[in-house]
Amino acid sequence: MFDALRRLGVLGLAGLLLAATAGDGYARQTTRFDGIKVNANPTIRPGLTLGQYAYNTAVLGSAFSHVPPYALGYNPYMNALATTPSLAGYGLSTVAGTNPYLGGAASLSTSPYGGGYSLSTTPGGGASSPYGYYPPYSYIPPTAANYMGLASLTQAQGQYWKDISQARITRETSRQMALDTARKTIELERWYEATRPTSNQLRDKELATELDRARKDPPATDVWSGRSLNELLRSIKATGAINRGPNLPLDDDTLKHINLTTGTSGNIGMLKDDGRLAWPLPLKEAQFAELQKSLDKNLRRAVADLKGKDPVDSALLNDINKQFKELNDKLGGSTDELSPGQYIEAKRYLNQLSSAIKALQDPKAPNYFNNTWNAKGKNAAELVANMSKEGLMFAPAAPGDEGAYTALYQVLRTFEAGLQMSQRRE
């Protein structure tokens, strides 16, 4: 310990002597700046120039860099000394400490008040140190520093290429995941297309639902509108074996009140009585009387032409359409004079009359009055056969035809059920 301090003092003294001999040279240095003489080494205090002060500092720093750490009171081997029982007689107590450079450890130092050696806590030991934390002294030789720098550079370069490789792996993984997602998307679309019902399947399901409704006592409005009758008719024709059904006779009086249509030509049912109309009471009011009489007269003329197998005159058709529009507009403006029930009754009648006027404009309208497009047949099988031959279907019932429609529904339902049973037996 004392030898180290002596060496430290000698080094410091040598540095001061060298600084003193070099100081004069620094003091005499001058330079010129734009013709002005400037002292490049000014004096910072009497007898000490700026260059001398910097040189002194450099020499002292170089001298202190050669001082070993244990010469200043830090013993890196304190762990071994502190845990050796045989040193207790020399003023050391047995303690279990850690490395003094990591803080909180016991170290061997010289007491400033004499008395030999004792254990004390290093300044880095936390709360017991009045001077705070001092980092441990470390000295790295220049050669070792070169190797350490080269090692750090090599490690950094290796880490760089490692990161580049990892980035490439991550990018490739991302691409593979994108391809996998695309593949799964295609598989999902294929599955959806395979399980999604087609338009034909949806139509078949809808038709099956409508037929089931027609078979199980549908509402009267479905029967009178011809909806249920047409569903039963479709099912009967689909069997392809009409003659195998039960023999269910039909009377002429019932068929006289059944209205048929091609599906696009309207419903002639309201004009079958030579064009005479059974006007409802709301439309017999005085405000509608004039239009009602004129329209009734023109419709009779049109039916007479059709019975003579002549098409309706275009001028007559224009008058009929014009009068009907005026009557419909007048009804719309009479909502304050009619009760809700009267208005609904009159409006429904005019809607049916509109379909009859539309049938008059069909070039084949004479077929409604020459027994070609009429409901005919001795039984259900013959009725269906005649309708299939002419491409006809059931039109809505005209006022007063509701009973005939209900009776025909019962016959067709029984006939369709018999055909289904006959097919199951086969």
Decide if pLDDT at 424 tops 70. yes
Q: Write out pLDDT tens, residues 293-348.
A: 888 898 888 888 888 777 788 888 899 999 999 999 988 888 888 888 889 988 98
Q: How far apart are CA 272 and CA 303, in angstroms?
A: 8
* Higher pLDDT pick, 315 / 77: 315
Q: Write out pLDDT tens, residues 1-43.
A: 445 445 545 445 444 444 444 444 444 455 554 555 656 677 7
Q: Are 295 and 320 in contact (CB under 8 A)?
A: yes
Q: What value does the mean pLDDT take over residues 161-181?
A: 91
pLDDT band per the 50, 70, 90 thresholds, residue 67: low
Q: What value does the mean pLDDT take over residues 243-262?
A: 88
Q: Write out pLDDT tens, residues 334-376.
A: 888 888 888 998 898 889 888 888 888 888 888 888 888 889 9
Residue of 265, 290, 236 lying closest to 412 (CA atoms): 236
What is the number of other CB atoms lying within 10 angstroms of the CB of residue 325? 12
Q: Mean pLDDT score of the chain, rounded to an integer?
A: 76
Residue of 111, 112, 135, 107 lying closest to 122 (CA atoms): 107
Q: Give the pLDDT of residue 184.
A: 95
- Boundaries of every domain in the chain: 1-67, 76-135, 220-425
Q: Write out pLDDT tens, residues 81-132.
A: 444 444 444 444 444 344 444 444 444 444 444 444 444 444 444 444 455 5
Q: Give the pLDDT of residue 405.
A: 93
Instruction: Give the β-pairing of 30-33 and 117-121.
Output: unpaired
pLDDT band per the 50, 70, 90 thresholds, residue 406: very high
Q: Give the pLDDT of residue 175.
A: 93
Enter the tokens of residue 256: 């006289």
Q: What value does the mean pLDDT take over residues 190-217?
A: 89
Decide if pLDDT at 58 tops 90. no
As a whole-number percent, the residues of the chain with pLDDT over 70 amount to 71
- Which are the contacts of 124, defined by CB distance < 8 A and separation ≥ 6? 100, 101, 102, 103, 104, 105, 133, 134, 135, 136
Decide if pLDDT at 241 tops 70. yes
As a whole-number percent, the residues of the chain with pLDDT over 90 amount to 20
Q: What value does the mean pLDDT take over residues 223-228?
A: 92
Q: State the helix-helix crossing angle for 402-425 and 227-239, rounded to 10 degrees.
A: 30
Residue of 254, 234, 224 lying closest to 419 (CA atoms): 234
Q: Give the pLDDT of residue 64.
A: 61
Q: What value does the mean pLDDT take over residues 43-61?
A: 75
Least confident of 71-85, 162-176, 206-220, 282-296: 71-85
Q: Are 222 and 357 in contact (CB under 8 A)?
A: no
Q: Give the pLDDT of residue 91.
A: 43
pLDDT band per the 50, 70, 90 thresholds, residue 227: very high
Q: How far apart are CA 413 and CA 418, in angstroms?
A: 9
Enter the tokens of residue 28: 């005499």
Q: What value does the mean pLDDT take over residues 205-224?
A: 90
Q: What value does the mean pLDDT take over residues 217-246?
A: 89
